[in-house]
Amino acid sequence: MKNNYDILIIGGGPAGALAAKTAAEAGNTVCLIEKRAAIGTPVRCAEGIGKELLKEFIKPDPRWIAADIERARIISPNGTAISLEQDRAGNEVGYVLDRKIFDRELVWQAAEAGADVIVKTRATAPIMENGAVRGAKVLSVGIPADIRAEVVIAADGTEAQFARRAGLDTVVPLREMMSCAQYLMTDIDIDAGSTDFYLGNEIAPEGYLWVFPKGNRTANVGIGISGRKSRDGSRAKDYLDRFVAKNFPNGKTIEAIAGGVPVCRPLACTVADGLMVAGDAARVVDPITGGGIGNAMYTGRLAAQVASKCIAAGDCSKEALMPYDAEWRASKMGTVLERNYKVKEYFVTLDDAKLNTLAESIAQSSLKEFSVLGLIKELIKRNPKLLLELKALKDTLS
């Protein structure tokens, strides 16, 4: 293992992989470390991503696409279904990936571009000099070492600790942590072409339950509930078990995972002297859908682009790295995150009766645009009596 690089990347998920690939292609010496023994496993994701978003980063490949989705359905507490077909579906339907292979492919591409990849290696602490991050102390297969770098990109996911130990506040408030559990189930009756989202406080308080197909009679069946709604006997797993017992009593579970999805606002600042934060670690997860793969790839790539310029200019101070923070906030991703955060804050106030009313109002509509924005516009148009109540939602559009 070398001990000196231009860029050290912590975490081998989509953010870290895109950062490593981009930085290596720009001519930097790059090291990506992953604390787990293998890239892409265990999966902690529902694995859905919009088609157009994915194509911005990688050419779709049948090796890691588990299902090509034709429609999405939102199912209200009383069973009213809003069906959204592919031709109007935009970014909310798309592919269900096989993350074990997908993540490996992304890191493979980074390695081919010239990045060093070291697995079973975790960062235990930042190397700090005069308040600036200058690399990381690591444990590589149990052996301590120092890896020094001009810039460290922290892409260490939801349980991000590197940035926190370098002085950034990365703590997710309990109410904004979606507590999630998921089963990969087979031998179940599903619509293999539809991603289904179940809403309701009895089903998934302040969150939703998903059935994302991964082929014929196989799907990711998972749930996210707000951390503040989680308690003994009413945890994410308990809600999921109740749904599965009712809807898929004869299904077989071949994988069971759990995880947290932050639906808070992104970090107040995603750079510090010698440090950049990307992906879930930066909390750039869509607060409505919980989707984070595309945003991770976007921020990982952008972080590496900005870092490369700063290294070439010989200045990796917080001020020099700031264009990364400013650019993603001003981007489409940044504006959508802010808008969807406000939308999420509205939707978590709704009881089941109100959710049913809203769903019924647009169940028969022919939506011109299936996106969060399109859905909100339709809700406002179809519910003039609720206009005062929907004002907060309307304001998010301005």
Partner 1 sequence: MLRINRDKCGYCGTCVAVCPEDALELIDVYLSLERECIACGICARACPLGALEVIHEE
Interacting residue ranges for partner 1, rule: CB under 8 A: 35-37, 42, 44, 120, 122, 157-161, 164-165, 170-174, 177, 179-181, 227-228, 230-232, 235-237, 256-260, 262
The nearer residue to partner 1, 148 or 165, going by C-beta atoms, is 165
Q: Please give the radius of gyration of the chain, using alpha carbons only, rounded to the nearest integer.
A: 21
Strands 30-33 and 4-10: parallel
| Annotated binding residue 48 | yes
Q: Does the annotation flag 166 for ligand binding?
A: no
Q: How far apart are CB 258 and partner 1 at their closest, in Å?
A: 4
- Is 34 annotated to bind a ligand? Reply is yes
**Least distance (Å) between residue 285 CB and partner 1:** 11
CB nearer to partner 1: give 234 or 335.
Answer: 234
For the chain, how far is it from start to end, CA to CA, in angstroms? 52
3-state secondary structure of 353: helix
Of 341 and 370, nearer to partner 1 (C-beta) is 341
Rank residues 59 and 231 by Cβ distance to partner 1 and give the closer one: 231
DSSP type of residue 92? G
Question: Tokens 């992104």 identify what position?
Answer: 266
Query: In angstroms, what is the minimal distance from the CB of 231 to partner 1?
Result: 7
Is residue 372 annotated as involved in ligand binding?
yes
Output the smallest distance, CB 164 to partner 1, in A.
6
State in angstroms the smallest separation of the CB of 241 from partner 1. 11
* Residue 297 near residue 18, CB atoms below 8 Å: yes
15 appears as a binding residue in the annotation? yes
DSSP 166-204: TT---PPPGGGEEEEEEEEEES----TTEEEEE--TTTS
What's the half-sphere exposure (Cβ side, CA atoms, 13 Å) at 229? 23
The least distance separating partner 1 from the CB of residue 157, rounded to whole angstroms, comes to 7
Question: Distance (Å, rounded) from C-alpha 303 to C-alpha 359?
Answer: 40
The answer to whether 123 is a known ligand-binding residue is yes
Residue 51 or residue 120: which is nearer to partner 1 going by CB?
Answer: 120
Q: Is residue 310 part of an annotated ligand binding site? A: no
Could you check whether the bond before residue 42 is cis, i.e. omega within 30 degrees of 0? yes
The answer to whether 371 and 92 are in contact (CB under 8 A) is yes
Mapped onto helix, strand or coil, the DSSP state of residue 66 is: strand
Instruction: Specify binding-site residues.
Output: 15, 34, 45-46, 48, 99, 123, 280, 292-293, 372
Instruction: Specify binding-site residues for FAD.
Output: 15, 34, 45-46, 48, 99, 123, 280, 292-293
